[in-house]
Amino acid sequence: MKKTLVVIVILLLIVAGGVYYFLSNLDMLVKAAIEKYGSEVTQTAVRVDRVKIDLKQGAGGIYGLTVANPRGFDTRQAFSLGETSVKINLKSIGEDVIVIDAITVRAPKVMYEMNAAREGSLNKLYDNISKSIPAGKAGKEESADAGPKLIIRKLVFEDGAVDARLVPLDNKTYSVKLPAINMANLGAPRGATGSALAKEILGRITKAAQEEVKRQVIDKQLKSAVDAERKKIESEAQKRIEEEKKKLDPRLQDLLKR
């Protein structure tokens, strides 16, 4: 009996020690998980400065998260997220679908590069994530046994900016503001895997970034080029008119002056 009690006490101490270790190192464990699985899904380096988790409040903060650009691009990073706050619905913990009430990403910076081959860095990253999602029999994304299911009720990107480097245009880097991006009920109603959600979120961010780069950079560059060409043509036309005037008979030139 005593031996049995001793064994039970030892097991309880081991479990207690394990729980203490888990709770005291939760921030580090989450940080390591984000870097490991994030890198696997994107096929690039994902890094996090620090993580702060509050289990009682079901809240967390992720700071200094960066996602590197895929190979073939000179720009180092694809994303740099200053601060990301997460609010989890505690009632959903342990359920088949975990509900995240809100994710707010503050001051995100998106680095979009179009290389000499006219490949977009965000498009390449999107393709990498797509390849990480198992395919079903009919080529559909397989959701079964592909990880826990999630629903994100609200996702906001605010105070963002885009650094766009367009090699085919002029190889310069342009900085433009990124309008607030609001997403709702991602993965609803049945839930979706993290990879599937990452694909959808990146797709929307890529579209928003490309639209702003087109509107604020490419369209302005095209307008500037068209205006410059028009002025050049008008100047050359005026020069030819003056040259033709000089060739006219002096009497006709007097008539043109009247």
**Residue among 156, 155, 73, 63 at smallest CA distance from 111:** 73
Report how far residue 101's alpha carbon sits from residue 103's, in angstroms, rounded to the nearest whole number.
7
- When pLDDT is averaged across residues 28-53 and rounded to a whole number, the result is 87
pLDDT of residue 145: 43
Residue 182 pLDDT > 90? yes
Same domain, 130 and 243: no
Mean pLDDT check: name the lowest of 124-128, 170-174, 200-204. 170-174
* Residue 228 DSSP SS3: helix
pTM of the model: 0.70
Q: Are 103 and 84 in contact (CB under 8 A)?
A: yes
Q: Quick one: angle between helices 194-213 and 26-42, nearest 10?
A: 70
Which domain does 149 fall in, by range? 2-216
Total domains present in the chain: 2
- When pLDDT is averaged across residues 37-51 and rounded to a whole number, the result is 89
| Other CB atoms within 10 A of residue 41 CB | 20
pLDDT of residue 154: 92
pLDDT band, residue 153 (cuts 50/70/90): very high
pLDDT band, residue 139 (cuts 50/70/90): very low
Same domain, 138 and 230: no
- When pLDDT is averaged across residues 137-157 and rounded to a whole number, the result is 67
Same domain, 191 and 241: no
Same domain, 143 and 207: yes
Same domain, 196 and 240: no
Same domain, 80 and 138: yes
Q: Give every CB contact of residue 27 below 8 A, 6+ residues apart in sequence.
A: 50, 51, 52, 53
Reply yes or no: is the peptide bond before residue 168 cis, omega within 30 of 0: no
Q: Are 218 and 172 in contact (CB under 8 A)?
A: no
Same domain, 189 and 243: no
pLDDT in tens, 68-96: 999 889 888 988 888 889 898 888 877 88
Same domain, 81 and 190: yes
pLDDT of residue 32: 87
Same domain, 118 and 56: yes
Same domain, 72 and 107: yes
Q: Are 165 and 208 in contact (CB under 8 A)?
A: no
Same domain, 234 and 137: no
Same domain, 61 and 113: yes
Q: What mean pLDDT, rounded, does the chain reach?
A: 77
- When pLDDT is averaged across residues 244-257 and rounded to a whole number, the result is 57
